[in-house]
Amino acid sequence: MTHSTTKYIQRITRITVLPAGEPLLCEKATHISIEDEAAGEFLVVEQFSGCNGKLGGDDEKPQKIRIDQAEWPALKAGIEKMLMECGDPAADEISGDFSDLRFSEEAATTEAIEDAFLKSKKSQ
On the question of pLDDT at 100 being above 90, the answer is no
Q: Show Cβ contacts of residue 62 under 8 Å, excluding neighbours closer than 6 positions.
A: 46, 47, 48
Average pLDDT of the residues in 18-30? 90
Whether the predicted pLDDT of 123 surpasses 80: no
Percent of the chain with pLDDT over 90: 39
Rounded to two decimals, the pTM is: 0.59
Total domain count, the chain: 1
- Provide the 3-class DSSP secondary structure of residue 3: coil
Establish if 106 belongs to a structural domain. yes
Residue 5 lies in a domain: no
Domain assignment present for residue 68? The answer is yes
Residue 30 placed within a domain: yes
User: Which pLDDT belongs to residue 43?
Assistant: 95
- pLDDT for 94 beyond 70: no
Pick 54 or 23 by higher pLDDT: 23
Task: Report yes or no on 9 lying in a domain.
Answer: no
Domain region containing 79:
14-123
How confident is the model at residue 8, as a pLDDT? Answer: 95
pLDDT digits (tens, 9 = 90+) for 33-89: 999 998 899 999 999 876 555 555 556 677 899 999 999 999 999 989 988 888 765
How does the average pLDDT of the chain come out, rounded? 77
Phi, psi of 57 (to 5 degrees): -70, 165
DSSP string, 21-42: TS-TTSTT-EEEEEEESSS-EE
Percent of the chain's residues with pLDDT above 70? 65
Q: How confident is the model at residue 19 (pLDDT cuts 50, 70, 90)?
A: very high
In a domain, 8, yes or no: no
In a domain, 3, yes or no: no
Cβ-Cβ contacts under 8 Å for 54 (sequence gap 6 or more): 25, 60
Distances (CA, A) of 12 to 18, 81, 82, 103, 105: 17, 29, 29, 25, 21
